[in-house]
């Protein structure tokens, strides 16, 4: 089972087009040691040829260009993306669907009912794209059974409902429903190796912790270092937790949660990193703290074989 991080940044990317925070300005001018990052997405493959795109980010075209394995070039119009799954209906995870409208056949799309409803109402790219390639939409349900995709032979996917946030445009932003946000456990049935992917986790509930403890690779919410990061920078009067993201530092933060996971050989990697997050600076003190806790910072192109 191959997993590739296509985009390790949160919504907005790094640098964000209109942002002059220390990180965005620094990476633009080359005055800090940090790598640019595109918006939140991974790709998963069982055979290295057919890929499941997990989240279709606004940067999907640049991500396809940067990852040649996603274009096998077998015929005049082709793609290695055999299916798409989105973990929520947030703009940074679904806007890329618009960029894939030239697909020759309906796009195979896996979402929960809650996400599909948002994509047919508040941000109606579902019905809109039916005038282009359209979708063959598959429902992710919570019946206890695994999700098995033709595109991923030998890989089992288990969806874990998360407490995070529906998008700001959703009528369910403040009235959460089951399936607004999910985490995913990918199991290679042959090796027994597991990966847990959750770019947005607001609250660590027992099933989430169980999923995290079962995994050999964690790709989890690294949005913000502190809960009031955006407020302190004078950018936005919103806490990370209000946006459905558990910060890394402080009591009950992601560092503490990850410290409690002691599985031998586990890799702990942060993804969906907001451009304001000081962990983006390769030689900064926050990065050093993460290293001391055995936590890695995801980057575009980071690849795993499980």
Binding site for ligand MLT (CB under 6 A): 10-11, 90-92, 200, 243-244
* Closer to Zn ion by Cβ: residue 10 or 257: 10
* Closer to Zn ion by Cβ: residue 25 or 78: 25
Residues 188, 191, 194, CA angle at the centre, nearest 5°?
Answer: 45
Residue 204 to residue 95: CA distance in whole angstroms: 27
Residue 6 binds which entry of Mn ion, ligand MLT, Zn ion, none, with Cβ cut-offs from 5 to 8 Å by kind?
A: none
In the complex, the smallest distance separating the C-beta of residue 11 from ligand MLT, rounded to whole angstroms, is 2
Residue 107 binds which entry of Zn ion, Mn ion, ligand MLT, none, with Cβ cut-offs from 5 to 8 Å by kind?
A: none
Residue 67 binds which entry of Zn ion, ligand MLT, Mn ion, none, with Cβ cut-offs from 5 to 8 Å by kind?
A: none
In the complex, the smallest distance separating the C-beta of residue 120 from ligand MLT, rounded to whole angstroms, is 19
* Closer to ligand MLT by Cβ: residue 93 or 194: 93
* Closer to Mn ion by Cβ: residue 13 or 278: 13
Residue 135 to residue 51: CA distance in whole angstroms: 17
In the complex, the smallest distance separating the C-beta of residue 279 from Mn ion, rounded to whole angstroms, is 16
In the complex, the smallest distance separating the C-beta of residue 274 from ligand MLT, rounded to whole angstroms, is 8
Bridge-partner residues for 267, per DSSP?
A: 217
* Closer to ligand MLT by Cβ: residue 222 or 244: 244
**Is the bond preceding 15 in cis, omega lying within 30 degrees of 0?**
yes
Closest by CA to 22, choosing from 301, 234, 238, is 234
Q: Which of residues 275-294 bind Zn ion (CB under 5 A)?
A: 275
Closest by CA to 134, choosing from 161, 177, 104, 164, is 104
Asked whether the beta carbons of 186 and 155 are under 8 A apart, the reply is yes
Give how far the C-alpha of residue 223 lies from the chain's centroid of Cα atoms, to the nearest Å. 11
Per DSSP, the residues of 63-117 read HHHH-GGG----SSS--SEEEEE-SS--HHHHTHHHHTTT-SS-EEEEEEHHHHH
* Closer to Zn ion by Cβ: residue 16 or 38: 16
* Closer to Zn ion by Cβ: residue 185 or 224: 224
In the complex, the smallest distance separating the C-beta of residue 68 from ligand MLT, rounded to whole angstroms, is 27
Q: Report if residue 273 touches Zn ion, rule: CB under 5 A.
A: no
**Residue whose C-beta lies closest to ligand MLT:** 11
In the complex, the smallest distance separating the C-beta of residue 166 from Zn ion, rounded to whole angstroms, is 24
Cα torsion angle, 236, 238, 241, 247, sign: positive
- Residue 8-47 contact track with Zn ion, rule CB under 5 A, x = bound: --------x--x-x--x-----------------------
* Closer to Zn ion by Cβ: residue 21 or 204: 21
In the complex, the smallest distance separating the C-beta of residue 199 from ligand MLT, rounded to whole angstroms, is 7
Structure tokens at 60: 């999907």
Asked whether the beta carbons of 254 and 221 are under 8 A apart, the reply is yes
Binding region for Mn ion (CB under 5 A):
10-11, 90, 92
In the complex, the smallest distance separating the C-beta of residue 250 from Zn ion, rounded to whole angstroms, is 21
- Half-sphere exposure of 255 toward its Cβ, with a 13 Å CA cutoff? 19
Per DSSP, the residues of 2-64 read EEEEEE-B-TT-BS-TT--SHHHHHHHHT-S----B-BSEEEEESSSSSEEEES--TTHHHHH
Binding region for Zn ion (CB under 5 A): 16, 19, 21, 24, 275
């Amino acid at each position: 089972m191959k997993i590739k991080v296509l985009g390790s940044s949160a919504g907005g990317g790094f640098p964000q087009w209109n942002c002059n925070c220390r990180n965005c300005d620094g990476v633009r001018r080359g005055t800090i040691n940090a790598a640019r990052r595109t918006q939140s997405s991974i790709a998963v493959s069982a055979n290295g040829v057919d890929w499941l795109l997990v989240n279709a980010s606004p940067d999907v075209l640049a991500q396809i260009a940067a990852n040649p394995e996603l274009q096998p070039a077998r015929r005049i119009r082709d793609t290695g993306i055999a299916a798409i799954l989105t973990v929520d209906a947030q703009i940074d995870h679904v806007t890329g669907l618009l960029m894939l409208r030239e697909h020759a056949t309906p796009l195979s799309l896996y979402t929960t009912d809650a996400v599909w409803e948002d994509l047919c109402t508040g941000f109606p790219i579902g019905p809109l794209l039916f005038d282009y390639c359209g979708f063959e939409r598959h429902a992710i349900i919570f019946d206890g059974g695994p999700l098995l995709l033709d595109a991923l032979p030998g890989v089992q996917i288990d969806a874990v409902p998360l407490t995070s946030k529906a998008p700001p445009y959703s009528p369910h932003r403040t009235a959460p429903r089951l399936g607004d946000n999910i985490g995913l456990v990918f199991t290679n049935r042959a090796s027994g190796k597991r990966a847990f992917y959750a770019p947005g986790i607001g609250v660590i509930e027992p099933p989430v912790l169980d999923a995290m403890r079962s995994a050999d690779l964690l790709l989890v919410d690294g949005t913000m270092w502190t809960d009031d990061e955006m407020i302190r920078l004078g950018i936005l009067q919103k806490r990370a937790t209000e946006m459905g993201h558990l910060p890394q530092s402080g009591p009950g933060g992601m560092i503490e949660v990850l410290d409690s996971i002691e599985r031998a050989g586990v890799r702990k990697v942060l993804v969906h990193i907001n451009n304001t997050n000081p962990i983006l600076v390769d030689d900064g003190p926050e990065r050093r703290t993460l290293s001391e806790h055995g936590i890695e910072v995801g980057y575009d192109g980071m690849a795993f074989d499980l």
